[in-house]
Amino acid sequence: QQKALQKNPHIVIATPGRLMDLIDQKIYTLNKITIITFDEADRMLDIGFLPQIKKILQLSPKDKQMMLFSATMPSSISTLASKFMKMPLRIEIAPQGTAAKNVEQELFIVQKGDKIRLLDSILAEYKEETVLVFSRTKHGAKRIARDIVNMGHTATEIHGNRSQTQREKALEGFTKGSFRIMVATDIAARGIDVSHLGLVINFDLPENSEDYVHRIGRTGRAGRSGKAISFATPDQRGDVKKIEQLIRKSLSLMNLPTLPAKRPAPREPQSMHSGSRGRGGRGGQSGGGARKKRRSGGGSNFSSSPRQDQRPTAGHRRTGNKQRGGRRHT
């Protein structure tokens, strides 16, 4: 990095923390900067970069051009803009909280203890899709990834407990298709841009509604269609309503499919990055469409919760008016 900076590049792309390290070491200076851009500005502030951002702005020329890019506009962004920007122009491509129109959004109400069985069912059905699964915690992400491998899928994980090298290898493998499924936390998933990502699963609802928009925005890019499926426990009524208020639409509440039997706990957690069936579904099963799914109607109405103790049965699963078997396209 030091050698690259000595060549006086026209553009420097950096994280606030690393940039301040180089400035403090007298390796780099902001004296000749004419444009400063902050991408994902809201997330930078959320993870504690505000002191570094303020310092960077104070050390840069006053007559610079400054640009903030953000999917949401929290008060912290407005405060930063009013303090460091002169007559800022706000350009809104879409209203705050707007989700991609070509992303189909579904919601399952499920008991916490049955989430992994529901995930098992969905991954078997969408066995041709590249999938991004979100966990609220890094420990949860590790456990979910291990369970997915135990189901017979190729999976990797990206979260705060992994080194930078491990994250890069995981992301590279996911992008190239070595792993069909990635399990991630919100912060670790920032910047993931996989063109062929067909399905996002919110195994855990995000801590704030804005993160829901960020999450499902990973699919349905560049004009492609995509799907986002969220799991919510019965006591998360308020969290779902906040999301619906932000995106200004109701999530389609789905009836639970017949859940598969609970699998034995995996014995070898170190075999995280290999699945016994490659990109296919569970061993010995077709993976696609062994269950029925019916819309319960009326948006995310919590008035009824289907039974979750049913055993697997044969048959086809139905969405809307289309019967489908083992292969599905989104």
| Interatomic CA distance for residues 228 and 234, integer angstroms | 19
At 292-303, the pLDDT tens digits run 444 554 454 444
Q: Which of 320, 218, 304, 256 is nearest to 118 (CA)?
A: 256
Q: Which residues contact 41 (CB under 8 A, 6 or more apart)?
A: 68, 69, 70, 77, 80
| Interatomic CA distance for residues 64 and 54, integer angstroms | 14
At 251-270, the pLDDT tens digits run 999 999 999 999 888 765 44
Whether residue 329 is contained in a domain is answered as no
Residues 19 and 116 in one domain: no
pLDDT at 286: 40
Whether residue 8 is contained in a domain is answered as yes
Which CATH number fits the domain that encloses residue 125?
3.40.50.300
Whether residue 96 is contained in a domain is answered as no
Domain range for 269 is: 103-324
Q: Tell me the one-letter amino acid at 305.
A: S
| Interatomic CA distance for residues 34 and 138, integer angstroms | 39
Predicted confidence (pLDDT) at residue 112 exceeds the cutoff of 60:
yes
Whether residue 69 is contained in a domain is answered as yes
Whether residue 95 is contained in a domain is answered as no
Kindly report which listed range (36-50, 64-78, 270-284) carries the lowest average pLDDT score: 270-284
Residues 49 and 181 in one domain: no
| Interatomic CA distance for residues 201 and 122, integer angstroms | 9
Whether residue 319 is contained in a domain is answered as yes
Q: Is 119 helix (H, G, I), strand (E, B) or coil?
A: helix
